[in-house]
Every structure is written in structure tokens, then in C-alpha cells.
Amino acid sequence: MRIVRILFRQNKLLNFFTLLTATLLFFFLLVLVINIKQTEIEVGTTENFKNKQMYKLSDHLVDELETEFFSRASNYDKLNEFANALEKSTDFQYFNAIWQPIGVVNFKGDKIFSAYYENGSEVSIYKINGKEYHSVKSIQVDSDALSYNNIQLSQGRLFDDEEYVFIGNQIPVILGAEYNGIYKIGDQIDIEYYQQSFKGTVVGIIQPLQKIITVNRPEILLDRYIMIPAMYFNKSPSQLTNDASEYPIFFRASLLSRANGTILSELDPVQIRKLVGEIALQTGFSHYSIIGANSLKINTLVQMTETNRITLLVLSFSLLALAIGVLLLSLFIKTKRNVSTYKVFLINGATLSYIYKMISLQSLITYIFGSLLPLVIGIVLIGLSASILFMYLLLVAVFSIFMSIMSYVFVKRIFLKLDIVRELKG
């Protein structure tokens, strides 16, 4: 170890630059790990949609037809069974991601959260039962929508299974990334959703740039959205007619939303029409049509994420190779400059192989020190997840050992060329 200490005292500037290079390199490795992890999620999301078609179900119930349909309690059940059968079907995947603004009392956010802000519309404020509501962007999702779109949270949790069932006026709420700092986990938000009042509780905050893919809008960026569960009913809606008459719009809209979901499948439009037709026949609900079968939107997203991953990998490996080259270059310069020190070691009885080992140990110590700053910044400032930290530490270990072995081999070759022993003998 004394020799290592002496080696660190030689060429202090070069040693400092090697440490700096190693630190930057490990920063780069950390960013690379985060990136690869993120690309995996993004590519994983589009993989769920790759080579598939998206179809949107749309009901025909408008105006008088809607009034007539909902005048019979049994039709509520038919619609409910139709939606249930679609969800349970094993022939295709079915999910609900409904774009529907909601009202929020005493809204703390600014105008960017307003329902139609991006379309250039003014902030919409309305009153129901004396309460003033801000109309804000919201999406109602079921658990399949969250899993197919691989939604990642930065804080809190996703909805539990029982939270999708309509029981009372309590509702969990997950907020988009831009709400971070405006509301926090546990905050209560008074919500109006399909003219029904709910007490919302914030249970999670979504990571930035998370998206939900739908037929109409292939990229719904959730940053400015309030996400709530798409409601299910634990009893046949005909048994809930008292509630239905109390909240007619909520019951109807919720049932229709569930039946107007998205089908994701490799099947062609004719096959899908046949399968949904069979479900319609079994359940007795036939007021629907199927829109979509446009694979271009999915192709754009798949191609975009895959190209991004390839670019990332190619660039990262080229830069990594360059950085390794630089570290070896500095090792070469350092070794050549330290020849006189090595001579002293040899005179004092050290063997050549011992000197090789000490030089590679010096490199190992330099790399380990170089990896510390990125690690501290990663934990303290970025708050990295355990899996990312584990990957980073694994990479640090592999890289440091690899570079130390390289140093050993490299120094041995330099020594052979320099032939120090002959120089000593004169």
C-alpha cells in the first residue's frame, strides 16, 4: 500500500485528471443506466401495441334513442353485461381510457390544467349546487389501461382493484407530473364527475412524460391530467335504480364509457366485428359501431421508441469506447513518466509483477473513488430507485475490475517495451 501511496503522489495533475475522467465516465454510466431503464419501459409499452390494431367502440345512443333506451331498467343491465363481456373476452384485449374533463372545487393549479387550454380556450368555471368548479383535464382509466401503457409513478401507488368499484362518494386520484408541488399525497380534492360529487384523495403522482395510447389521440401526455378510476358497479344496475334515478347522468355516462372502450388485437376488422357481434347477441345490446383499425398511429410510436433505443445504444457504446481509450492513454502517459519511480522500487527489492499489481490497484482505487460522486448525487438529488442503483453498482464493479485488469496487461506491455531492468543494469 505504501507503493500505491507513493504512486498517487507522483504526477498529481495527471492523477487528478484521471480521477476527473473516471468521475465523468461514471456520471455518464449512471445516465446511461437511467436511460436504458427508461427506454426499456418505453419500448415495453409500445411492444404491448406492436403489430396490433386498435378499435374503438362507439354507441349510437343519442337524444331520443338514449332517453328511450334508459327508460327501461333492464337496459342498464344489458349495457353493463355487454361491457363486462368485452372485458372478460379472451379473444382480444379490452381497455378503458376515457378522456373526460372533471370539475374541481378551489382548484390550486393554473390555466395549463384547464380542460381545453391547449386548444386555445379560456378557463371554464361553472357552478353546481352553489359550488364553483374549475373544468380540468382528466382521464378515467381501468387497470388494463394502466398496465398496457406501463404507467410509472414517481410517488404513491396505483389504484387498488376494489377502488374501481363504485361504492360511495370517495374516490382515489392520481395526478400528472406537473401537479407535483401543487397537490401532495393525501390531499383532499372535491371533484365533480358526470354531475356526481366525489371526495377525491391524492394517492399517487405520475412520472413525467407518461403517455396513454388511445385510438383518437395516440399520445395523451399525462403530465397535466388528473387520473381517476373508470367506475364499475358491484350490483346489477337495475338493482341500483334508486341511485340511478338520483344520479341519472352519472350512471348512464359511466355505463356508456365502459362500453365505449378500446379493443387491442391482431385480428382484422371482419373478425373483430364477428366477435363483438356474438357478444352483442348474447347480451342483447346492439347500439354500437366499431371505429378504427388504423395501425399507422401504433407504427409511428413503435418506430419512434425503437429508433430512439438504437440511437441511444450506438451513441453510448461509441462514447464508452472513447472514454476507455482516454483512460488507457492517461495510464500510458503516467507509466512512462513514472519510470524513475519504478526504478527506485526495483532497487529497493520490489519485483516487476508486484509493481504491475500496485499500478492496477492504483487504477482500481481511482475508479472506485470516481464512482462515488455520481452515486451520492444519484441518491441524494435524483432519488434513484433500488434497481437503477443495483445496475449502476454492478456496472461500476465490472468496469473497475475490467479496467484494472486492462491496466495490468497494458503496463506489462509498456514495461516490456521500455525494458527497465536492462536500463537499471546500465
Partner 1 sequence: MINNGFVNKEAITFKITKLEEAEIKKSGTFMLFQYNPDSSNSKILWMNGDIKLPATALESATFMERQVENIAIIGKEVSTTIIPANYKIAGYFTAKNSYLLNSEAWLLPRSRHIDLNKGNYFVFNTTARDKVKLLNEIIHPNKIEIIDEEKYGTYSLYSNRSLLLGLQLFFILIIVIYFLINNISLNKEKYLISIMHTTGYTLSYIYIAIFKYRVIPCIVCSTIMILISIVVKNYLYPTWGEDWISYSIITIMGSLLLMMVQSLFVVFIHSIKKGGKKY
In order, the DSSP letters of 334-400 are HHHHTHHHHHHHHHTT--HHHHHHHHHHHHHHHHHHHHHHHHHHIIIII---HHHHHHHHHHHHHHH
Q: Report in angstroms how near the CB of residue 7 gets to partner 1 at its nearest.
A: 18
**Nearer to partner 1 by C-beta: 49 or 250?**
49
Q: Are 140 and 206 in contact (CB under 8 A)?
A: no
Q: From CA 301, how far away is CA 312, in angstroms rounded?
A: 16
One of 6, 24, 267, 389 touching partner 1 (CB under 8 A): 24
323 binds partner 1 (CB under 8 A): yes
**Nearer to partner 1 by C-beta: 20 or 167?**
20
Q: Report in angstroms how near the CB of residue 195 gets to partner 1 at its nearest.
A: 23
One of 4, 6, 34, 328 touching partner 1 (CB under 8 A): 34
224 binds partner 1 (CB under 8 A): yes
**What's the residue count for the chain?**
426
Helix ranges (H only) for 50-154 are 63-70, 73-88, 143-148
One of 81, 223, 256, 358 touching partner 1 (CB under 8 A): 223
Pull the grid cell for residue 168: 360511495
309 binds partner 1 (CB under 8 A): yes
List beta partners, residue 105: 133
**Nearer to partner 1 by C-beta: 322 or 401?**
322
What are φ and ψ of residue 201, in 5° steps? -125, 130
Q: From CA 42, how far away is CA 369, in angstroms rounded?
A: 33
42 binds partner 1 (CB under 8 A): yes
What H or E segment, with its residue span, contains residue 288?
Answer: strand 288-292
Q: From CA 322, how far away is CA 3, in angstroms rounded?
A: 30
Q: Report in angstroms how near the CB of residue 11 gets to partner 1 at its nearest.
A: 11
20 binds partner 1 (CB under 8 A): yes
Residues 114-133 that bind partner 1 (CB under 8 A): 117-120
Q: Are 97 and 211 in contact (CB under 8 A)?
A: no
Q: Are 403 and 52 in contact (CB under 8 A)?
A: no
165 binds partner 1 (CB under 8 A): no
One of 4, 105, 153, 221 touching partner 1 (CB under 8 A): 221
Q: Report in angstroms how near the CB of residue 316 gets to partner 1 at its nearest.
A: 7
156 binds partner 1 (CB under 8 A): no
Which residues contact partner 1 (rule: CB under 8 A)?
A: 13-14, 17, 20-21, 24-25, 27-28, 31-32, 34-36, 38-39, 42, 112, 117-120, 207-209, 211, 218-219, 221, 223-224, 294, 296-297, 299-300, 303-305, 308-309, 311-312, 315-316, 319, 323, 326, 330, 333
